Amino acid sequence: AGEWVVDELEAVNDKTGQVYFTGRMDTPLERHLYVTDLEGSKPQRLTDRDGMHGISFSRDASIYVDSSSTANRPTQVSLHSADGKQLTWLEENALDENHPLTPYLSDWVEPEFGTITNDDGIDLHYRLYKPAELKGKHPVIVYLYGGPHAQVVNNAWGGNRGLLMQHWVSKGYVVFSIDNRGSNYRGKAFEEPIYKAMGSVEVDDQVSGVKFLHTLPYVDKERIGVYGHSYGGYMTLMSMFKAGDYFKAGVSGAPVTTWRLYDTHYTERYMGNPNTDSDAYEASSVFPYAEGLQGPLLIYHGMADDNVLFTHSTKLYKHLQDAAKPFEVMDYPGKKHSIRGKQTGIHLYHTITNFFDRHFDVK
């Protein structure tokens, strides 16, 4: 679509010639519904509320269901006619006195969104939570993912992890995320630098984010940690191993450690054939950089993970042990990639939080 990304073709009305699609014409941080026609007229936005919209049309394209949220508004579900007019709420999910979130709204911190420019002159979107009361220098947790076809910085409800970030902010942490090159909804030119080069420009852009944090008067640059899961776990390792001067402690969840062990259909799309592109695979593995580990590192993994196999972590455990590099471990027997289960999730979030509290001296 030129300067912006089309997410999905949602419906076509054969009788009127109208075409309905979701995209990012207004901002990469929000998904909206637009309508145009088969002649290519200028798209008109139909969704009037801010945020992220998931659309499901009827077969005749006469009505649709809109599931929408923002970073500060949980998901609401509404029914609309094809011209965008709301017909009724299906689930208003209003933040009234009966909502389970209401008792905590007085302490709710709204994120700030902005952009920085990296060393290559490319604008990167960030999200920043800061404590309501700024007193002196605050520690930071950088939450990242960084991989292709994914986005962290957006105006959408954050679910359990978003609530975890609110908890961190209430303890005095600054919580920061930035979408590096290689991530989604910025177009092909923004994503393609990681082709056959995973773990490279992503780290550079995350470092650009930390350099920005260094300019904030309330940030303690000696207490900047990093946390991610899956590709984010891989990115945590790469950030700790390659940029330890910037990232002082890290939590790596279910990390890929070598792309030779990951799903072929995913990996070869971005990394090529391991038989003909072996140098790229070696450069994108965490092992060549592990000697660079400086700060405290916690690795956790579900031992029944059928996505990123547990052997990714055990190979790294041995490698770090052989290099006499200290690290911490919390593995979850019987758990798969997402470490599901209410009590297990509570245990995991406590483990992550306690790790940063200990190493950053947060009470």
Q: Could you give the residue numbers annotated as active site?
A: 230, 305, 337
Specify the length of the chain in residues: 363
CA angle 153, 158, 164 (to 5 degrees): 110
Nearest to 331 by CA among 356, 237, 316: 316
Residue 250 β-bridge partners: 226, 297
CA 9 to chain centre: 24
**Quick check: 189 and 201 in contact, CB under 8 A?**
no
Which tokens belong to 238?
């790469």
Q: What is d(CA 227, CA 248) in angstroms, rounded to the nearest whole number?
A: 11
CA angle 213, 216, 217 (to 5 degrees): 140
Q: Residue 93 CB: number of other CB atoms within 10 A?
A: 16
Nearest to 134 by CA among 156, 112, 160, 149: 112
